[in-house]
Amino acid sequence: MKDSLVPDPARIEDIRNETPDVVTLRLVFEDRGKMETFSFRAGQFVELSVPKAGESTFCIASAPSDRGYIECSVKKVGRVTEAVHMLEPGGIVGIRGPYGNFFPIEAMKGGNVLFIGGGIGLVPLRSLIREVLSARSDFKRLSVVYGARSERDLVYKDELDEWRTRGDMEVVLALDPGGEMEDWKGEVGYVPSVLEKRTIETKDCTAVTCGPPVMIKRVLGVLDGMGFCSSQVYTTLEMKMKCGIGKCGRCNIGPLYVCKDGPVFTYERIKEFTEEIF
Ligand SMILES: Cc1cc2nc3c(=O)[nH]c(=O)nc-3n(C[C@H](O)[C@H](O)[C@H](O)COP(=O)(O)OP(=O)(O)OC[C@H]3O[C@@H](n4cnc5c(N)ncnc54)[C@H](O)[C@@H]3O)c2cc1C
Ligand code: FES
């Protein structure tokens, strides 16, 4: 049996610049059979390795219904991510996974879904949004509230435009105060404040949020105030990881391992650990 810690080689088919410090890699396993059988669910992550630089954890940004490739969007913050930014199309990286749990998309069917993202936190939400849109008629109202520091920090700009203009989902974009240029037509304000101003029907609605810890913490408070029950609210956490499979003990919060029990949690499950997490 193959050692689960040994990565599979994957070729970079394409690289897109999302922002000055975020790139999206489109990856195809060198082994075509592996690519055909690779399956995952929105919310799961992989361990991606760059020769001579090391390995890091990244969400799968594409959707399970995007067949024939996977995508990861990587923000440059340190050693491995800087090495990722040096890569070029045709280069080879290692991929192991998918790991972790996932968003319960089946349970969301028949209801409304509210996605709340900040900065690079749109990455795991993008996988879920694409998956939801691939079965649009199974869901009722879809709303996205997404914010970034400035217009150039918004990821997936073309896709945000597509979502805004398709007519069957609401997309609210916001920039942090001071980050807007004169021609900005969206909201100005931090994501939790922008969310707070909206009227949201909480009945039969699932809220899903990801972003910087400070944003998640405030968004959870706003959703609470709006009347969301903590079991209706999902977030995905990015504690530092090493093995990704529950063996090294690096990623725990209380008794939970983020790599194995998460990274997707209901607010209900993590409520008692909020001081530790945020
Ligand atoms: C489940 C999960 C999913 C993730 N998905 C993505 C993703 O889709 N895209 C993306 O760009 N990043 C994602 N991350 C974060 C990513 O793993 C780290 O940014 C990366 O490991 C940093 O590696 P490095 O060697 O470049 O940085 P290092 O040189 O190790 O560190 C540079 C700086 O980044 C900080 N850092 C390192 N790891 C983390 C972390 N996990 N969370 C917060 N800060 C960290 C360090 O404290 C340090 O300040 C995810 C993390 C987890 C756990
Ligand atoms: S990353 Fe090793 S136990 Fe979670």
**15, 23, 58: residue to mutate for ligand 1 pocket, most atoms within 8 A of CB:** 58
CA distance 268 to 106: 19
What DSSP element (H or E) covers 114?
Answer: strand 112-118
Q: Which amino acid is at 8?
A: D
What's the CA-to-centroid distance between 56 and ligand 1, angstroms? 7
CA distance 176 to 164: 20
pLDDT tens by residue, the chain, 278 residues: 455 789 999 999 999 999 999 999 999 999 999 999 999 999 999 999 999 999 999 999 999 999 999 999 999 999 999 999 999 999 999 999 999 999 999 999 999 999 999 999 999 999 999 999 999 999 999 999 999 999 999 999 999 999 999 999 999 999 999 999 989 999 999 999 999 999 999 999 999 999 999 999 999 999 999 999 999 999 999 888 889 999 999 999 999 999 999 999 999 999 999 888 88
**57, 59, 71, 264: residue to mutate for ligand 1 pocket, most atoms within 8 A of CB:** 57
pTM over 0.85: yes
In the chain the domains, ranked by start, together with CATH numbers, are 8-99 (2.40.30.10), 105-236 (3.40.50.80)
Report yes or no: 183 and 176 within 8 Å, Cβ to Cβ.
Answer: no
CA distance 233 to 263: 14
Residues lining ligand 1, Cβ inside 6 A: 45, 56-59, 73-75, 77-81, 120, 123, 238-241, 263
